[in-house]
Structure 1
Amino acid sequence: MEPITINNLTFAYPGQAPLFKDCNLNLSSNWKLGLLGRNGRGKTTLFKILQNRLDYRDQVQTNLKFGYYPFDVADPDDFVWNNLSNMVPQLEQWQVERELNLMQTDAALLWQPFNTLSGGEQTRVMLACLFAQEGIFPLLDEPTNHLDQAGRSLIAQYLKQKKSGFIITSHDQIFLDEIIDHTLVIEQHQLVLAKGNYSNYFAQKQQRDNTAISTNEQLLKDIHHLKQVRQTKQQWAQQAENEKKNNSHADKGFISAKAAKMMKKSTIMKGRLDKAIEDRQGLLQEVEKVVPLTINLQPTHHQTLLSIDKLSLIFPGHPLCSNLSLKVANHEQVILCGNNGNGKSSLFHAILGDFNGTQDGQITIGSNIKISVVRQNYLYNHGSLQNFAKNSKIDYDTFLNLLRKLGMARSTFNVPIEQMSMGQQKKVELARSLAQPAHLYLWDEPLNYLDTYNQEQIIKLIQEVRPPMLIIEHDKHFIDHVATQKIQI
């Protein structure tokens, strides 16, 4: 067992509020630790600090050598094995094949060009490379992204059987419950370390939030009452002063003394009340606030917005889906299910008219139907939010309002999109789609990188508005709550 000791850690990006301030932690390399927290709270930043990739104040002490998922591939056009062996020269092929076998994955993937692998296959290859190395402590940043349900189950079983520890981030609570034994949560103003899985933490968090809400309600009542008392005292003092000014026949000396006495009492009382109000406001605890989202859904007379009949998609030497038929009717949410590499994202490209392979069959879109898309790959979003909104032809104020509802801090609004965290970039992509006027929505894995609070926001929005949607998603909780129809590819 090797400890990870963090003493008085403080870190802030230039021009932004601190993500960490005087933080102290003692972690064990034996733990399968889930690193949790809302988007933008600093999970990936903490991973970078552990790897000495960022300048920070004070100490992180450990003898561990960290390995990070996902890593950059030097030449995506080259074979997988060539990329892995060039990156880690001491790596033996049999070691990687052993890990792939534990994930029930064909080792033949090593001899395919990296860019021909599906997102799920790339995930497995990277994890195999990481765990094949001796003396490496893995930092796993969102490995469930792009994994289908079968893939998530396999990876969960693979990680569960590992005897060594690791730190992992994921927003799939079912996945985390299966594998982690400790949680480290970056909350609004504190780090919370606890034994147990995600459900254990969340149950404790709800108890703390419920207590905080009850306490806050009483404190707010006290503050309201104290403000009323303060106002009454000030009115009495003002009345005495007005009596002195307006009563020309009264005893001026008596009234002046009375007014001065009242004013003095009022000043003393105001100071006491101000202090009491300030003390109570300081006790107010912040609870995660989740507000409803909005969507710019446009009305349409079409009953069927999208129809696909006997569609087949083929890349050269790589058949995808075949003989696929489906319809998306008004107020219907159709979920595309299936294993990675079966052509779900390619189907979206075919619908939008930019599929690069061969297709056969019929795709029919209702006349004048506007489609809004959430893409799986949105790395080309860049620049300021204002320019992005202008180029996307969406209302800037509506766009920013949606980002705030999704939990993005106002301080982030001046950060270029390409410098945001992956979760924040995903919120930009999602907010753009929500702000666009549209009749039909094509969303490709909308939950990737989004925290559980955002996931619940999206579920409630879809349940209440029921916009016509074709969605690719692997999260079972989401599918069970929003799908009106499931299509297996």
Structure 2
Amino acid sequence: MSNISINHLTFGFDSQERLLFEDANLNLDTQWKLGLIGRNGRGKTTLLRLLLNELPYSGSITHEQQFVYFPLTVADDQQLTLFVLQESGEFEQWRLERELNLLQLDPEVLWRPFATLSGGEQTKVLLARLFVDEENFPLIDEPTNHLDVTARQHVARYLQQKTGFIVVSHDRQFVDEVVDHVLAIEKSRLVLYKGNYSVYELQKQQKDAYEQEQNSKLKKEIGRLKQTAAEKAEWSRGRERDKLGSPTKKGSGAVYDTGAIGARAARTMKRSKAIVKRMEDQIQDKSALLKDIEWIDPLKMTPLVSHHDVLLEAEHFQLGYEQPLFKPLTFAIRQKERLGIQGANGSGKSSLIASILGTFDGQQTGTIKTAHGITISYVRQNYEDNRGMLTEFAQEHGLNYQDLLNNLKKLGLERTVFQTPIQQMSMGQRKRVELAKSLATPAELFIWDEPLNYLDVFNQKQLEEVIHLVEPSMLIIEHDRYFLEQVSTKLLTLTIDEKE
């Protein structure tokens, strides 16, 4: 057993106004299954890079580990998968095949070009390579991207059998299943929790509730102190006026003795100032009270009301190429209904959307139709064609520019990014632009294809809340089971046709 010791860690990028980490101190046990969570932009991947000694910093990070990062860099994806994995160092092939079997993946994938593997297969082989060498300490960054529900379960069960790793993931259920400690990057500090994500969330809610209660008490105390100080100050000013307007024998100590009155006024003023100073000290002492509360700003979404009751309807509907993609479907989406679509990768989920939008190029049987004249707002999986400045983008898509910016800001996009061409943004920032575009598009039907990729858990809560508030009519494809169960009014699972 060994530790990773972080002492007085301070780091920030020159382009950012605030430090990501300031005088952070941690002691991490290398046997822990540690989940690293926090809002996008708070420094999760940066912390992993600091552990890898890829960035300069102040303070110290001491350990006896050989860190290895997931996903591994693939220089040439046209090579056979085995050769791709060997580029990161030699290993015994039987160990790699053992790991692949644990991940429910046939080792024959090693003899296929890496580029021909599905996203889920690529994730699994890179994870297997990560754990081949038991001397390495894995730093796992977003392993659930591109994984369907079944593959996520495979990876979760695989990691449950391992000890000693740090994993970053925005899938709450996945984190719940695989970690025994959580490290949260909050607004001002790193906070360690013992337990899984559910334990963290409960303890964080309790801490936030306590801090809010303390803040409410503080505000009342400040109000009382201000009122007392004002009353004392007014009394002393009144006594000073009495002294100036009522001259008597100096120093007698009588009621109208100006010397006595002046002395009392001075003492009262001194006490008044002491009260104000005490109040200011308390304000300063408590100024950091709420700095770690994560405020979830509500998003704006504008669903349109249609005169049609049924917005989308399918009857004995099936898609395929040489073989059917899924069993025949019959379903309908009515006003304020939200249909959640589940299914393994390759089961035809995105093809279903393509058919609805009239872009599917395979065979189609049965019927699927949308109500006449309705507007559809679409979040796509692939949005690389979003380009240009946000002002031009809003104009091109007929969006209210201010609504677009407001939702982007609430989704965590920094104002400094607003003047960056979309094609130069990070993938997470570009995903927020795609999502904000859909939110700002007034529509009778919203179709979202894997909306949660690159979003943090706080963004997910924002989406859940706005959907519950405005009750749009939706078709949603998503691998995150928790989110789909939270927002859907009904669920549909696509299954491969048994005649295949």
Q: Structure 1 length normalisation: TM-score?
A: 0.85
CA contact (8 A) 1:311 1:359 kept: no
2:440 to 435, 452, 462: 435
1:175 matched residue in structure 2: 174
Contact (CA 8 Å) 1:78, 1:114: kept in 2 or not? yes
Aligned equivalent of 1:99: 99
Asked whether the equivalents of residues 40 and 424 of structure 1 are also in contact (C-alpha less than 8 Å), the reply is no
1:353-364 maps to which residues of 2 (within 5 A)?
Answer: 353-355=358-360, 357-361=361-365, 362-364=367-369
**CA shift in 2, pair 1:101/1:424, >3 Å:** same
Instruction: Kindly provide the amino acid, as one letter, of the partner of residue 280 in structure 1.
Output: I
Q: Identify which of 280, 294, 309 aligns with 1:277.
A: 280
Deviations, residues 438-461 of structure 1 (Å, cap 9, x unaligned): 221111222334333332332232
The Cα of 1:267 is off from its aligned counterpart by: 7.8
In structure 2, relative to structure 1, the CA distance for the partners of 1:192 and 1:263 (3 Å cut) is: same
Partner secondary structure for residue 298 of structure 1: coil
Residues 323-356 of structure 1: CA deviation (Å, up to 9, x unaligned): 344332221101111112212123223333444x
CA shift at 1:14, angstroms?
1.9
Separation in 2, partners of 1:56, 1:416: 30
Kindly provide the amino acid, as one letter, of the partner of residue 65 in structure 2.
Answer: L
**Which residue of the partner structure matches residue 154 of structure 2?**
154
Q: Tell whether the 8 Å contact from 2:233 to 2:272 is kept in structure 1 after alignment.
A: no
| Residue in 2 that maps onto 1:328 | 333
Aligned residue number for residue 464 of structure 1: 469
* Residue in 2 that maps onto 1:45: 46
Task: Give matches, 1:158-237, under 5 Å.
Answer: 158-162=158-162, 164-232=163-231
- Over 3 Å counting, the alpha-carbon distance change for 1:102 and 1:307 in structure 2 is same
Distance 1:279 1:403 in 2: 36
Q: 1:298 aligned to 2:304?
A: yes
Per-residue Cα deviation, 1:302-328 (whole angstroms, up to 9, x for no partner): 22222334444446x775335344332
Looking at structure 2, the residues matched to 100 and 89 of structure 1 have their Cα atoms a distance apart, in angstroms, of 17
Higher CA-based Rg: 2
Identity score, percent: 46
Shift of 1:147: 2.4
AA in 1 matched with 2:337: E
How far, CA to CA, are the matches of 2:192 and 2:349 in structure 1?
39
Q: Which residue of 2 aligns with 1:289?
A: 295
1:57 is matched with 58
SS at 1:305 equivalent: strand
For the residue of structure 2 that corresponds to 1:443, the secondary structure is strand
Structure 1 residues 27 and 14: CA distance shift in structure 2, 3 A: same
Mapping 1:364-375, distance limit 5 Å: 364-375=369-380
Alpha carbons 2:229, 2:275 under 8 Å: kept: no
For residues 228 and 305 of structure 1, the distance between their equivalents in structure 2, rounded to whole angstroms, comes to 60
Q: Deviations over 1:133-189 (max 9, x none)?
A: 453321111212332332222211111112x41100122333222221222111111
Relative distance call for 1:271 and 1:119 in structure 2 (3 A) is farther
Is the counterpart of residue 141 in structure 1 residue 149 in structure 2?
Answer: no
Deviations 1:419-467 (A, max 9, x none): 7665555433322221222221111222334333332332232223221
1-structure distance, mates of 2:438, 2:425: 18
Gaps of 5+ in 1: none
CA RMSD of aligned residues (A): 3.5
Would the aligned equivalents of 1:119 and 1:340 in 2 still touch at CA under 8 Å? no
SS in 2 for 1:171: coil
On the 8 A contact 1:40/1:421 being kept in 2, the answer is no
TM-superposed CA distance for 1:45, in Å, is: 1.1
Q: What SS does the corresponding residue of 1:487 show, helix, strand or coil?
A: strand
- Equivalent in the alignment of 1:127: 127
Could you state the TM-score of these two structures normalised by the residue count of structure 2?
0.83
Look up the match of 1:83. 84
Opposite residue 276 of structure 1, the aligned amino acid is M
2: CA distance between counterparts of 1:281 and 1:384?
Answer: 42
Report the CA distance shift for 1:385/1:45 in structure 2 as closer, same or farther (over 3 A).
farther
**Structure 1 residues 474 and 7 mapped into 2: Cα distance closer, same or farther (>3 Å)?**
same
In the alignment, structure 1 residue 344 sits paired with structure 2 residue 349: yes
Does residue 33 of the first structure (1) align with residue 34 of the second (2)?
Answer: yes
Deviates more, 1:404-413 or 1:22-31: 404-413
Q: How many residues align?
A: 481
In the alignment, the residues of structure 1 paired with residue 448 and residue 232 of structure 2 have an alpha-carbon distance, to the nearest angstrom, of: 59
Matches within 5 A, 1:382-393: 385-393=390-398
2:285 partner amino acid: G
Name stretches of at least 5 consecutive residues in structure 2 with no aligned partner. Answer: 249-255, 495-500
CA contact 2:233–2:268 (8 Å) conserved in 1: no
Deviation, 1:126, is 2.1
Distance (whole Å) between structure 1 residues aligned to residue 118 and residue 125 of structure 2: 11
Measured in 1, the distance between the counterparts of 2:419 and 2:240 equals 50
Equivalent position SS for 2:60 = strand
Cα distance change, pair 279–304 in 1 and its aligned pair in 2 (3 A): same
- CA distance in 2 between counterparts of 1:200 and 1:222 reads 33
Counterpart Cα distance in 2 of 1:234 and 1:256: 18
Q: Is the 8 A contact 1:70 1:141 kept in 2?
A: yes
Q: Distance in 2 between matches of 1:79 and 1:256?
A: 100
Rounded to whole Å, the distance in 2 between the matches of 1:70 and 1:346 is 28
Task: Tell me, yes or no, if the aligned pair for 2:411 and 2:432 is still in contact at 8 Å.
Answer: yes
